[in-house]
C-alpha cells in the first residue's frame, strides 16, 4: 500500500501522537450525538427503555443474531453469560492466561475455577491443540478471547466443545466487526460478550457492554439477570445484579454504529501501512498480520520485540505514546495465586507479556503520524 504523505515534522514532545484520541470522532458526529442525548433528556428514561431496545435491535441486525442484550460493561456481560449457563462453584472454564483480567475475573466472580491453556504465538489467541488435555469431568465451558481484534480458531474449539458437551462463550470485547470465514464474531459460539468502553472500535462515553446469542432461553435469562433476576419486575427467579445499559450510552452508540464499518477499514488501512513500513525491515521485530480466513479489526496493533521497553522509551522520548498489552500474565497475578500456577507453565503467554507493545491505531490517525511512528521505530530497530 502506498500513501501520499503531507509534509509534517516528525513527532516531538511538542506535537505528541496519542495512543488513542476520540476527539475528532466526537467532533465529526457532535451534532447527531447532542441530538440523541437531548432525545433521552426529553424522554426522562435514563435506564433501559426505548433507546436501549432500539440499539439492541440495530446491533443484533449488524451481528446477524436473534438477541442482543445491552448491559453495563463487558465484564458484566461475561458474568451474565456464565450465570445464564448455570456455571458456578465446582465448575471449570477453560480460558487464556494472556488477556485483560476481566475474562478470568468473571469466572472467579461466579465461583467457578479458571483453567488456563497457553496461546498461539502468532495470533495471541487460545491454542486449540492444547485445550483437549485441559478438559476434565468438571469442565463446563471454553472461553476464548478474540484478542486485539483477531478471531480465535473457533472451528477447532467448537469441535472440541461438541465432542465433550461443552459450551463456547466468546469474549469478543475487542473484536466487533471481525469475521472468521465470512461469519462475524458474536455468532461463532453459543453466547458472546462485547465491550463499548470508549477506546473500543465502537466506543460509548463510559462503560457499556452487550450479550449476544441466538439461544432464546439464554437471552431471556440474560435480560432477567441484568435487572436483579426480575422476571417480571419485582419477581426474582434468581439472584442477578444491576447490570443495565444506560439510555444515554445506547443513544450515543446508535449514532456511532452506522460508521463502524468505515472506522474498522481505517484501522485495517493503518495496520497495512505499519506492516508495509516495518515487516522485514526492523531488527528483531515481529509485526502482526491476519491469519487465514480471518478479518482482523485491530482494536490494537501489537508488535513483538525482545527490546520492548527500550522501544517504548525511544518512542515516548519522541512524543509517541504506546501501551504494553498485557505486561502481567493472568496465571501469575496475585488474585489467581490460589490456583497453583507458577512461572514457566505457559511459556507463550509469558513471552508475549514480556515482548508486546501496542502502537497508535485509532481511525483518525493522520498520514504524517503513521509515518512518524514507523520512522522512529526504524531509527532504533533498522536492520
Prediction pTM value:
0.93
Q: What mean pLDDT is predicted for residues 349-360?
A: 97
Give me the mean pLDDT over the 333-338 stretch: 96
**Confidence (pLDDT) at 10:** 53
Beta carbons of 154 and 189 less than 8 angstroms apart? yes
Output the average pLDDT for the chain.
93
- Residue 17's nearest CA partner among 366, 382, 379 is 366
Alpha-carbon Rg for the chain in angstroms: 21
Whether pLDDT at 368 is above 60: yes
**Residue whose C-alpha cell reads 467448537 in the numeric block:** 158
How many residues comprise the chain?
383
Peptide bond into 5 cis (omega under 30): no
Inform me whether the pLDDT recorded for 354 exceeds 90.
Answer: yes
In the prediction, which pLDDT does 15 show? 58
Average pLDDT over residues 317-332: 96
Residues near 310 by beta carbon (within 8 Å), at least 6 away in sequence = 380
Measured CA to CA, the distance from residue 142 to residue 139 in angstroms comes to 8
> Rounded distance, CA 54 to CA 51, Å?
5
Confidence of residue 282 (pLDDT cuts 50, 70, 90): confident
Task: Name the percent of the chain lying above pLDDT 90.
Answer: 87
The grid coordinates of residue 302 equal 501489537
Q: Which of 190, 84, 96 lies closest to 145, judged by CA?
A: 96
Helix, strand, coil percent content, the chain, rounded in steps of 5? 40, 15, 40
Residue indicated by cell numbers 525491515: 281
Q: Is 248 helix (H, G, I), strand (E, B) or coil?
A: helix
Question: Could you tell me if residue 178 is left (phi over 0), alpha (psi between -120 and 50 degrees) or otherwise beta?
Answer: beta
In degrees, rounded to 5, the angle at the alpha carbon of residue 187 between the alpha carbons of residues 159 and 346 is 55
Q: Identify the band that residue 236 occupies on the pLDDT scale cut at 50, 70 and 90.
A: confident
Confidence of residue 228 (pLDDT cuts 50, 70, 90): confident
Asked if 67 contacts 116 with a C-beta cutoff of 8 angstroms, the reply is no
User: Confidence band (pLDDT; 50, 70, 90) for 80?
Assistant: very high
Q: Say how many CA atoms lie within 13 Å of 113 toward its Cβ.
A: 16
pLDDT of residue 140 exceeding 50, the answer is yes
229-238 average pLDDT score: 75
Predicted local distance difference test score (pLDDT) of residue 383: 57
User: Helix, strand or coil for residue 113?
Assistant: strand
What are the DSSP calls for 226-238, one per residue? Answer: TBTTBSSTT-BSS
Q: Is the pLDDT assigned to residue 84 strictly greater than 60?
A: yes
Q: How large is the average pLDDT for residues 207-233?
A: 92
For residue 233, pLDDT beyond 80: no
Q: What is the C-alpha to C-alpha distance for residues 228 and 248, in angstroms, rounded to an integer?
A: 21
CA distance 327 to 117: 18
| pLDDT at residue 5, rounded to an integer | 38
Q: What is the pLDDT of residues 48-74, one digit of tens each?
A: 899 999 999 999 999 999 999 999 999
Tens of pLDDT, residues 9-55: 555 444 599 999 999 999 999 999 999 999 999 999 989 899 999 99
**Any residues with CB less than 8 A from the CB of 309 and at least 6 apart, and which?**
none
- Cα distance between residue 54 and residue 247, in whole Å: 10
Q: What is the mean pLDDT of residues 92-106?
A: 98
Amino acid at each position: 500500500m502506498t500513501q501520499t504523505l503531507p509534509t509534517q515534522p516528525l513527532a516531538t514532545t511538542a506535537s505528541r501522537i496519542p495512543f488513542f484520541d476520540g476527539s475528532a470522532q466526537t467532533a465529526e458526529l457532535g451534532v447527531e450525538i447532542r441530538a440523541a442525548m437531548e432525545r433521552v433528556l426529553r424522554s426522562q428514561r435514563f435506564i433501559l427503555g426505548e433507546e436501549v431496545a432500539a440499539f439492541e435491535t440495530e446491533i443484533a441486525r449488524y451481528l446477524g443474531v436473534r438477541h442482543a442484550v445491552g448491559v453495563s460493561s463487558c465484564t458484566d456481560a461475561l458474568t451474565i453469560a456464565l450465570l445464564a449457563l448455570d456455571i458456578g462453584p465446582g465448575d471449570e472454564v477453560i480460558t487464556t492466561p494472556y488477556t485483560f483480567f476481566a475474562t478470568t475475573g468473571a469466572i472467579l466472580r461466579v465461583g467457578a475455577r479458571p483453567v488456563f491453556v497457553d496461546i498461539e504465538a502468532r495470533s495471541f489467541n487460545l491454542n486449540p491443540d492444547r485445550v483437549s488435555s485441559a478438559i476434565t469431568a468438571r469442565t463446563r465451558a471454553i472461553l476464548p478471547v478474540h484478542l486485539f481484534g483477531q478471531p480465535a480458531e473457533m472451528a477447532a474449539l467448537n469441535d472440541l466443545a461438541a465432542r465433550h458437551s461443552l459450551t463456547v462463550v466468546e469474549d469478543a470485547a475487542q473484536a466487533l466487526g471481525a469475521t472468521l470465514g465470512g461469519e462475524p464474531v458474536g455468532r461463532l459460539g453459543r453466547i458472546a460478550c462485547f465491550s463499548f468502553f470508549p477506546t473500543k472500535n465502537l466506543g460509548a462515553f463510559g462503560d457499556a457492554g452487550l450479550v449476544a446469542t441466538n439461544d432464546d432461553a439464554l437471552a431471556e435469562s440474560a435480560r432477567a439477570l441484568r435487572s436483579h433476576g426480575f422476571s417480571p419486575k419485582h419477581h426474582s427467579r434468581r439472584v442477578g445484579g444491576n447490570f443495565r445499559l444506560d439510555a444515554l450510552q445506547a443513544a450515543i452508540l446508535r449514532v456511532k454504529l452506522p460508521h463502524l464499518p468505515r472506522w474498522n477499514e481505517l484501522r485495517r488501512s493503518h495496520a497495512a501501512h505499519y506492516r508495509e513500513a516495518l515487516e522485514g525491515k526492523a531488527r528483531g521485530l515481529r509485526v502482526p498480520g491476519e491469519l487465514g480466513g480471518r478479518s482482523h479489526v485491530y482494536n490494537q496493533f501489537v508488535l513483538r520485540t525482545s527490546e520492548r521497553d527500550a522501544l517504548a522509551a525511544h518512542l515516548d522520548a519522541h512524543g509517541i505514546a504506546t501501551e504494553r498489552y498485557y505486561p502481567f500474565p493472568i496465571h501469575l497475578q496475585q488474585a489467581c495465586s490460589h490456583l497453583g500456577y507458577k512461572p514457566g507453565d505457559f511459556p507463550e503467554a509469558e513471552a508475549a507479556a514480556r515482548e508486546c507493545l501496542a502502537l497508535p491505531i485509532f481511525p483518525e490517525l493522520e498520514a504524517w503520524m503513521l509515518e512518524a511512528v514507523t520512522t522512529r521505530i526504524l531509527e532504533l530497530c533498522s536492520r
